[in-house]
Chain A
Amino acid sequence: MLRRLLLALCLLATLPAAGHAQTLRIALREDADLLDPTLARTYVGRIVFAGLCDKLFDLNEKLEIVPQLATGYEWADPVTLVIHLRQGVTFHDGEILDAAAVKYTFERALTLPGSFRRSEISSLDHVEIVDAATVKIVLKSPSSPFLSQLTDRAGMILPPKATEAAGKDFAQHPVCSGPFKFVERVAQDRVVLDRFPGYWDAANIHFDRVIYQPMPESSVLLANLRSGTIDLAERVLPTDVAQVKDDPKLRIVTSPALGYEAITFNLGNGDRAKTPIGQNKLLRQAFEAAIDRQAVVDVVFNGMYKPNAQAVSPASPFYIESMPPPPRDLAKAKALIKQSGVPTPIVVQMNVPNTPDRAQEAEVIQAMAQEAGFDVKINLIEFAASLQAATRGEFEAYLIGWSGRADPDGNMFAFLTTGAGQNDGHYSNAVVDAALTDARKSIDLAGRRAHYETALHQLRDDLPLIYLESPVNIVGMSARLTGFRPVPDGMIRLQGLAVAK
């Protein structure tokens, strides 16, 4: 009786729930921050922008740079980039997207207080309007990563009039040129976008509305996916993949991600650097030899991530195949410790952000390193606190990842060069500095690869970071969805995405 009553109540309550065939619901792992491409900072924010704002260039599945708002480009000389714009493109408010809008957007990124794009395009000197459909970008010095910045937020062109009119409130009502236009945002609940009828590639858009919903809790996300309340979920946990695969209504699509997981050592940032492992590279080499990367991946990440000993993913054209991750070699680890002359057990305090997968990964590493003679003490701390500790040098070792960038520069320069912003361990090596700086200036692929290989040889010896594995983008979705393109940057491109008839 009670069961029937409950069923009746539930049915009554859910009556109008069915029938939004043209709405796509996407679950995000966090709430996005500011919806202004110049001020935005978060990874999930970029996923929302993929629906809202087109960029000058895009990335394809092979990480190649392909035109989007641009139709093509050429380097007139090593510091002059000429970009040809797509004609007939309008913003959501009807304003025409032309060279003046491009110039305006870059200048805004360079001058707006709080701009997060300034550092990405810091090599830009000025922008010249050649004609309505052509801009000339002049750099201060040659910069090979510059173009790849235009495949992300720095390349999202904004309408000058609407942006100026909105001023500081632009993020509350963003206007762009993407396939969907902004409707509303309820913080921590949803961002709603509606199809933009004037989109230049409208034939490729098959939904009337897209709703992004933050769902940080993985079990909640999974339940929503399985019950059909959401159509697509980004960053499904590797440990949840089996459940999704078991459900005939769902499927999993993976692509190699651009980021990495690594242990950063404190080599010179304050007093905490003065530890045996911080001062002696033999011990870091021993620590690496003690780790079985494949076992870590199998135990913690369900075998889905890829063991890696480099800052770039194996999918990148800059991955050096001749330097695969070394297998575990306990004898070598013990020999290196002996050679260092440091008595065991060698205590290593490791800061670990308190997420379940990182905690588990730390425990596996702890057990492996113990066999070689290391006493790893895991210090689980909340993420924000761990970042602060890293910057202040309040760590000996830090297990942390990086979401990654399409260009290898974005994974290395800021983390490894002397005095760079995210070089928390204060690693400093002239060979690496020179190689990474030269790689920025070099424009051809082979030349850049050679510089990265030089840097990598030095890094493999010094081990300021022990790279552990490259993550995989795991997207769970309704089996009825077709046309999803798994690009390594993890963004959810709405072009071509449709419900199978």
Chain B
Amino acid sequence: MQGNLGTRIAQIIPTLLLVSVLVFCLQQLMPGDPAMVLAGEERGDPQVLAQIRAELWLDRSLPVQYFHWMGNVLRGDLGYSWRTRQPVSALIATKLPVTLQLGTMAFVFAVAIGVPAGIVAAVQRNKFWDYLANAIGLAGLSTPTFWLGIMMILLISVDLGWLPPSGYVPLTEDWRQSLATTIMPAFVLGNAIAAILMRHTRAAMLTALDQDYVRTARAKGLSESSVILRHALRNALIPVVTLGALELGTLLSGAVLTEQVFSIPGFGKMIVDAVFNRDYPVVQGVVLVTAFLYVMLNLLADILYVVINPRLRGS
């Protein structure tokens, strides 16, 4: 096991290097000259453009640019935003907690809605509640985040005036305002995942409920709730948990849209703005940090698997 873990850790560095090369090259494929974007309305002045290119090393060859950037990254310097001159590491440090809060809340929503709905649908198989849960699940899956977000803003913020339509307040500053600004986006973001979780919970529960041990539990005279929750659900949850972990990726990409709709200054919004502004250091920094988080989460999942399933320990 330790050797296995060692291999996994050793794989992290080449993976991240590969990601860094990929993101660097992909950016070069994007049409649009960053110097021209930065020059804004002064783009017509060749002197201005030359000055920007020289300052940002854009007049050097690609490998030189890459190694210059990578060298700084290895020293812990992710560079600074071309547009605002703020250090990329500082930008990431302020944006990451925002998206983590949004993502966590969305995941809580998804689990709180998806798992119970899946259980009810399985227990009430082919009855009214099953159909209803399926219909809602299908609707959740097929509703575009963008549309749902705008509709909720119009209904809850504009017409009813219950919640602020957009923006963000950090938890540490004012937890109530923070919740007020993140409830709606978290719900929108969690909605699609709730639907996926519901459908998988239902399927897994149906399989579990057909198993012999459930029949045995019932034969022993256990209460129905005990049979469903303690016996069937615990077993059904294993694939659901795996799926939930995979859906964390969906969560991060969904955050891009949700943050745009609700004007939340998080990771997703930062990368979208950076791409449009051709703010390469920000794009590179964000992608690299995201890749690092992913790799670490994967590693954590691998370790947890071994912890949960003793049969894997020998391999």
Chain A residues packing against B (C-beta within 8 Å): 6-7, 9-17, 31, 33-34, 41-43, 113-114, 116, 118-119, 168-169, 171-172, 185-189, 213-217, 219-220, 223-224, 226-229, 381-385, 387-389, 391, 402-403, 414-415, 420-423
Contact = CB atoms under 8 A, between A and B. Distances in A.
Given A7-B162, A421-B45, A220 B32 contact: no
Given A41-B42, A387-B43, A17 B261 contact: no
B84 A33 contact: yes
Given A13-B163, A16-B177, A227-B161, A187 B85 contact: no
Contacts, number: 165
B262 interface: yes
B40 A42 contact: yes
Contact of B85 (A7, A42, A172, A188): A172
B81 A213 contact: no
Nearest to A224: B165
A227 B167 CA distance: 13
Interface string B181-195: 001000000000000
A145 to B, nearest CB: 15
Contacts of B31: 381-382, 384-385, 388-389
A220 B166 contact: yes
B176 A217 contact: no
B47 A119 contact: yes
Contacts of A216: 260
A168 B36 contact: no
Given A10-B183, A214-B263, A382-B32, 4 more contacts: A14-B176, A224-B263, A385-B31, A387-B33
19 contacts: A10-B163, A14-B180, A15-B176, A33-B83, A41-B39, A41-B40, A41-B41, A118-B47, A119-B47, A172-B86, A187-B86, A213-B167, A220-B262, A382-B32, A387-B32, A388-B32, A414-B44, A421-B44, A422-B43
Contacts of A9: 183
Interface in B153-176: 153-154, 156-158, 161-168, 174, 176
Given A41-B38, A114-B55, A421-B46, A217 B260 contact: yes
B51 interface: yes
A214 B270 CA distance: 12
A224 B165 CA distance: 6
Contacts of B273: 31, 188
B32 A385 contact: yes
A224 to B, nearest CB: 5
Contacts of B162: 6-7, 10-11, 14
B56 to A, nearest CB: 10
A361 to B, nearest CB: 21
B166 A187 contact: no
Interface string B49-77: 00110010000000000000000000000
A16 B261 contact: no
A381 B31 CA distance: 10
- In the A-B complex, the 10 residue pairs with the smallest Cβ-Cβ separation, listed nearest first, are A421-B44, A384-B32, A422-B44, A41-B40, A13-B180, A189-B265, A385-B31, A10-B162, A385-B32, A223-B165
Given A189-B167, A223-B157, A387 B36 contact: yes
A217 B30 CA distance: 23
Given A186-B94, A224-B165, A388-B32, A217 B263 contact: yes
A168 B85 contact: yes
Interface of B: 30-33, 36-48, 51-52, 55, 81, 83-86, 91, 94, 150, 153-154, 156-158, 161-168, 174, 176-177, 179-180, 183, 260-263, 265, 269-270, 273, 276-278
Given A187-B86, A388-B36, A422-B43, A14 B276 contact: no
B275 to A, nearest CB: 9
Interface SS of chain B: helix, strand, loop or mixed? helix
A13 B83 contact: no
A118 to B, nearest CB: 8
A387 B161 contact: no
Given A217-B263, A219-B150, A384 B278 contact: yes
Nearest to B33: A388
Contact of B177 (A17, A119, A220, A402): A17
A300 B83 CA distance: 32
Contacts of A118: 47-48
A229 B40 CA distance: 30
B166 A224 contact: yes
B174 A227 contact: no
Contacts of A185: 84
A187 B273 CA distance: 10
Nearest to A403: B41
A187 B270 contact: yes
B36 A391 contact: yes
Contact of B176 (A12, A171, A172, A224): A12
Given A16-B177, A171-B84, A422-B44, A188 B269 contact: yes
A244 to B, nearest CB: 12
Contacts of A391: 33, 36, 43
Contact of A223 (B30, B154, B174, B176): B154
B113 to A, nearest CB: 12
Contacts of A381: 31
Given A403-B41, A422-B43, A187 B81 contact: yes
Greatest chain A CB density within 10 A among B38, B94, B154, B263 is at B263
B191 to A, nearest CB: 15
B55 to A, nearest CB: 6
Nearest to A388: B33
B166 A116 contact: no
Given A41-B38, A41-B40, A10 B180 contact: yes
A120 B4 CA distance: 64
Nearest to B163: A10
A213 B37 contact: no
A119 B45 contact: yes
B153 to A, nearest CB: 4
B41 A226 contact: no
B86 to A, nearest CB: 6
Nearest to B42: A116
Contacts of A213: 167, 263
Contacts of A42: 40
B41 A171 contact: no
Given A34-B84, A186-B94, A384-B276, A220 B39 contact: no
Nearest to B150: A219
Given A119-B47, A420-B44, A16 B176 contact: yes
Contacts of B183: 9-10, 13
A217 B48 CA distance: 30
A114 B270 contact: no
A31 B40 CA distance: 13
A227 B157 contact: yes
A421 B261 contact: no
A309 to B, nearest CB: 23
Given A187-B81, A187-B270, A420-B44, A229 B52 contact: no
B46 A220 contact: no
